[in-house]
Amino acid sequence: MSWRSVIITQPTKLSIQNRQLKITQDEEWSIPIEDISSIVLETPQISISSKVISLMADSKIVMYSCDDKHIPNGVFMPFAPHSRQLRTLNKQISLTESFNKRCWQKIVVQKILNQAKVLKMNSKDLMCEHLEKLSLKVNSGDTTNKEAIAAKAYFSALFGKNFSRNYDNIFNTTLNYGYAIIRGAIARTIVSYGYMPSIGIHHKSELNNYNLADDFIEPFRPIVDLWVKQNIYEETEFDKYIRADLVNLLNVDVKIQGKLQSVNNAINVMIASYTTAINQKKYDKLELPEIIPLQNHNYE
């Protein structure tokens, strides 16, 4: 089971030796390929062989590139890894609007409930109750946009009345980084199950190649919010240690199907359940994560 996230922040040569990723800087390290779930390339001073890229694809390892501010801006994923991709794609394209609306309703409800749990963990009991009641009013397709109403109240309660997601500050920088990491992991899993990530349930932008990932990330976002609330302050520097902790959020626990799973594993469970929901034409088969207090998953 892959679980390690590798973050490259210094000039590095990456190569393959005996099915291990060889990392050459001032010193050398080797990591078994089967242990790696993701690689984040934070510096442009990286030499990487085509064999590394090929083996990353074969092993379904998600690899991120980053911009000058260290924010992930690209995701490398394997091409057509599913044995029956055309059949899966045909099913995805033929999904009814009613099915998609019900799936989106379930996603929005779980996202709002997870936001309520974050507020509860931060002693925001009144707003927690407000969001719990709001989750009961989400209709099919969320046509009354309860998601946006909940988000406005949620962020104000969590980060203060003057907080805005449009500001360029340490809080939003950290949130964006964490979201991007989870989004990439979801996109990788979507592709591995044979789905086209550009075909979304609710998100439909022709300019977005990851509409489906942007649908499924929603109930996971509060995990990043909770970590940022607990660890980030106005004077915090967005350094490599902060970024490493954000990548490690892929290894924290959530509850799904009544069991504790790492975020990485929960993403797989979620997309597998989406396949079941499609095959059985039953939207209620879709399984989504329930947030719990942050703790690293025990892989033993």
Whole-angstrom distance, CA of residue 215 vs CA of residue 22: 36
Whole-angstrom distance, CA of residue 118 vs CA of residue 191: 30
Strand partners, 17: 20
* Whether residue 41 sits in one domain with residue 162: no
Domain that holds residue 56: 4-76
Whole-angstrom distance, CA of residue 116 vs CA of residue 214: 20
Q: For the segment 150-198, what is each residue's pLDDT rounded down to a tens digit?
A: 999 999 999 999 999 999 999 999 999 999 999 999 998 998 898 999 9
Strand partners, 62: 38
pLDDT for the residue 290: 98
Among 58, 76, 94, the domain-final residue is: 76
* Whether residue 177 sits in one domain with residue 50: no
From edge to edge, which strands make up the β-sheet containing 12-17?
Answer: 28-32, 20-24, 12-17, 46-48
Question: Which element (helix H / strand E) includes 40?
Answer: strand 36-41
Whole-angstrom distance, CA of residue 266 vs CA of residue 251: 10
Low-confidence ranges of the chain (pLDDT < 50): none
Task: Of 78, 76, 1, 53, give the one whose Cα is nearest residue 32.
Answer: 1
pLDDT for the residue 152: 96
CA distances from 131 to 46, 124, 154, 241, 256 (A): 45, 11, 8, 33, 21
* Whether residue 98 sits in one domain with residue 50: no
Is residue 250 within 8 Å of residue 262, measured between CB atoms? yes
Is residue 208 within 8 Å of residue 100, measured between CB atoms? no
* Whether residue 155 sits in one domain with residue 282: yes
Cα 139 to chain centroid distance, Å, stands at: 25
Three-point CA angle 35, 39, 42, nearest 5°:
150
Q: Which two tokens stand for residue 85?
A: 């991709």
Task: Of 274, 291, 253, 105, give the one whose Cα is nearest residue 189.
Answer: 274
pLDDT for the residue 192: 86
* Whether residue 57 sits in one domain with residue 121: no
Whole-angstrom distance, CA of residue 281 vs CA of residue 91: 10
* Whether residue 185 sits in one domain with residue 255: yes
Among 76, 107, 134, the domain-final residue is: 76
pTM here is 0.90
CA distances from 65 to 54, 98, 119, 207, 275 (A): 16, 37, 33, 20, 29
Q: CB 154: neighbour CB atoms within 10 A?
A: 25
* Whether residue 139 sits in one domain with residue 30: no
* Whether residue 38 sits in one domain with residue 98: no
Q: How many structural domains does the chain have? A: 2
Is residue 64 within 8 Å of residue 40, measured between CB atoms? yes
pLDDT for the residue 62: 85
CATH number of residue 165's parent domain: 1.20.120.920
Is residue 254 within 8 Å of residue 290, measured between CB atoms? yes
* Whether residue 111 sits in one domain with residue 70: no
Alpha helices (runs of H) in the chain, residue ranges in sequence order: 50-58, 85-93, 97-121, 125-135, 146-159, 170-192, 211-216, 221-231, 240-247, 263-280
* Whether residue 157 sits in one domain with residue 117: yes
* Whether residue 180 sits in one domain with residue 69: no
* Whether residue 269 sits in one domain with residue 165: yes
CA distances from 114 to 79, 223, 260, 289 (A): 33, 8, 15, 9
CATH number of residue 52's parent domain: 3.100.10.20
Among 36, 59, 76, the domain-final residue is: 76
